[in-house]
Structure 1
Amino acid sequence: MNIAHRSSEHDADSPGIVTVDTGFQRPIFDAAYLLVERGRAAFVDCGTQHSIPALLAALDAQGLTPSDVDWLILTHVHLDHAGGAGALMQRLPNARLVVHPRGAPHMIDPSRLVAGATAVYGEEEMARSYGEIVPVPAERVVIAADGHVVDLAGRPLLCVDTPGHARHHLCVWDQRSRGWFTGDTFGLSYREFDSPRGPFVLPTSSPVQFEPEPLKASIRALLARDPAWVFLTHYGRVGDVQRLGAELIEQIDAMVSMARQAHAAGGDRHASLTAALADYYAARAAAHGSPLDDAQVRAALAIDVELNAQGLAVWLDRAG
């Protein structure tokens, strides 16, 4: 597989699929996908408002215009996936937005989403990382219940309810490529961790709706179709899907065990859990043969360790 996916690069053996680097936070970190079928197009996820030039450039590179886009499909409404949806829809005159039933209200009226994120990040960081969060007119929103099929010029794209990372999460099955567009359900796989064994993967349990048993069930549902590929938002197309799925389920169980141990031990639960997670992922990366050394692994995963620890803590407190 290719180590770096450049904007507007077709994935070999994945017909009509272009990986677009949205530029969120750093290169090769946050992807959207452009699907092209008989002169019509769909985006899966879109990054932030700042990502719009890259998305439009990807269209142009395929000889398409914004009016050729029929669909913007969101895997879920976390801002690194969907923050630019409203602003992008203003540029796509014929497109409709496809979103999980639980996510649709937040796209039509994003005020609660904005308020929550602003409380965490502050106004300055919100503007820097995400730009303006623009509402999507209700009449342009298509609610995708489990089993909803999007028709892209005769190419069916099946939307499947996949809770666990978030309750408003769906994944998209493309029979043509035998690939899933997985958002965050199938975890994170950063290309700099690739080794001769292939891609390295870890789950994302970021706050606030992480639920381990639903997430494992969602992963098993994805594996049941025996996909050739998964198309990750973080980052790019990866194969060896059955191995990765098994590793994700193993890690979710280990993360839950670490969270419970940190809770039972008392003291600074968050500090104990972040230390345990960092050690665990570093050991797995070393066993995988990652080209990064221990310090580089810990630095690359520092934000994910923090978010995973927070999500596990929210789940612990909710579970009681």
Structure 2
Amino acid sequence: MGIGDVYEVTVGDCTDVHYVDTGMYDVPEYGSVYIIDAERPALVDTGIGARHENILSAMESVGIEPEDLEVIAATHVHLDHAGGAGYLAEDCPNATVYVHEAGKRHLVDPERLWEGTKHAVGDQIEFYGKPVPISEDRIETLTDGDEIDLGDHSLDVMYAPGHAPHQVVFYDPAVDGVFTADAAGIYTPSTDEMHVTTPPINFTLDEALDDVAMLQDLDPEILMFGHYGPAETGDKLETYAEILPKWVAEVERKRAELDDDEAVIDYFVERADTDLWGERKGRAEMRLNVRGVLVALDNREE
């Protein structure tokens, strides 16, 4: 697997779905964008703006011209999932951008989101590319229970606010698969491991666990992770439901011990796994996840 490579989803009975390794943060096997070669061709997520050319190349390899793309479905507006939406809307003039109603304003005017992202990710912002605004008339808003009709496929909208208040997941009945956004955590196919994702500022443990329970009730055959790639569901949701509260409790215990949030962050960053995505990304990922839990703990006490 390599940055920019395009793969057909062959898990289960999946048809007409491909994904591209976007090379987010210059790291392979971290960010994926999905291409549905349906009667109404669609993208699920767009990755960061700086990598939008990879998406266009991936579409071309699947046989979808920019003017043929009809749907850009954003699971949420965090820039690692929707940062390229404005660029792709410009390049694909017939595509409508779909996003949860709480996220629309950030696509129309992404300045606040851009500033917040810079604050959250620090020097990693160099990988992103500043988002491009999208005209309101190019955007359709979504809410729980909606459906995006792709002809021979559909995307059923399920609200999943544990990671962010503008997050949805999409269930495609044609393949019995869910595009999970960040609701099911992070999966690495090369190691077959699940990892937590708890960035600031909107992560809440209870809602995140509710999102996992919702997916468990749906019981899809395939999970199509934004980070990273498709996999059989197996026991992955059960695993995530176990490791997520354990992670939050671990940060909470260390905060009680050290009584200094920066010391808590440093403690975990020094112990970050740097083998998987390299030292820079591994440490940055840990920093984000610890800060997100600390913010969630503060919010719980208010």
Residue matched to 1:53: 53
Q: 1:119 offset after TM fit, Å?
A: 3.7
Q: TM-score if structure 2 supplies the norm length?
A: 0.90
Equivalent position to 1:296, from 247, 271, 275: 275
Q: 1:278 offset after TM fit, Å?
A: 7.7
Amino acid at match of 1:34: I
Q: TM-score if structure 1 supplies the norm length?
A: 0.85
Using the alignment, how far apart are the partners of 1:309 and 1:136 within structure 2?
Answer: 32
Residue matched to 2:88: 88
Once the two structures are superposed, the pairs formed by residues 99-118 of structure 1 within 5 Å of their partners are 99-118=99-118
Residue matched to 2:263: 271
Aligned to 1:90, the other structure's residue is in SS state helix
Q: 1:242 offset after TM fit, Å?
A: 4.4
Residue matched to 1:235: 228
Residue matched to 1:286: none
Work out whether 1:219 is the aligned partner of 2:212. Answer: yes
Offset from partner CA, 1:26-71 (integer Å, 9 cap, x none) = 1221110000113x31000001222222111122112221111111
Offset from partner CA, 1:229-251 (integer Å, 9 cap, x none) = 11111110111x24111111111
8 Å CA contact retained: 1:4, 1:191: no
RMSD of the TM alignment (CA)? 2.3
Q: 1:180 to 1:4 in 2, by over 3 A?
A: farther
Aligned to 1:134, the other structure's residue is in SS state coil
Work out whether 1:262 is the aligned partner of 2:254. Answer: yes
Amino acid at match of 1:84: G
8 Å CA contact retained: 2:20, 2:32: yes
Q: 1:312 offset after TM fit, Å?
A: 0.4
Aligned to 1:224, the other structure's residue is in SS state helix
Amino acid at match of 2:198: S
Between the aligned residues of both structures, percent identity stands at: 28
Equivalent position to 1:204, from 177, 192, 197: 197
8 Å CA contact retained: 2:2, 2:21: no
8 Å CA contact retained: 2:258, 2:264: no
Amino acid at match of 1:247: T
Q: 1:243 to 1:6 in 2, by over 3 A?
A: farther
8 Å CA contact retained: 1:182, 1:232: yes
8 Å CA contact retained: 1:6, 1:19: no
Q: 1:318 to 1:246 in 2, by over 3 A?
A: same
Once the two structures are superposed, the pairs formed by residues 70-89 of structure 1 within 5 Å of their partners are 70-89=70-89
Q: 1:271 to 1:246 in 2, by over 3 A?
A: farther
Equivalent position to 1:312, from 285, 293, 296: 293
Once the two structures are superposed, the pairs formed by residues 115-264 of structure 1 within 5 Å of their partners are 115-120=115-120, 126=125, 128-192=126-190, 194=191, 199-239=192-232, 241-264=233-256
Q: 1:216 to 1:242 in 2, by over 3 A?
A: farther
Offset from partner CA, 1:274-316 (integer Å, 9 cap, x none) = 646886x87xxxxxxxxxxxx6369474332211100001011
8 Å CA contact retained: 2:4, 2:23: no
Residue matched to 1:37: 38
Structure 2 gaps of 5+ residues are none
Q: 1:153 offset after TM fit, Å?
A: 2.2
Using the alignment, how far apart are the partners of 1:217 and 1:233 within structure 2?
Answer: 19
8 Å CA contact retained: 2:104, 2:141: yes
Aligned to 1:189, the other structure's residue is in SS state strand
Using the alignment, how far apart are the partners of 1:88 and 1:238 within structure 2?
Answer: 27
Residue matched to 2:28: 27
Q: 1:207 offset after TM fit, Å?
A: 0.7
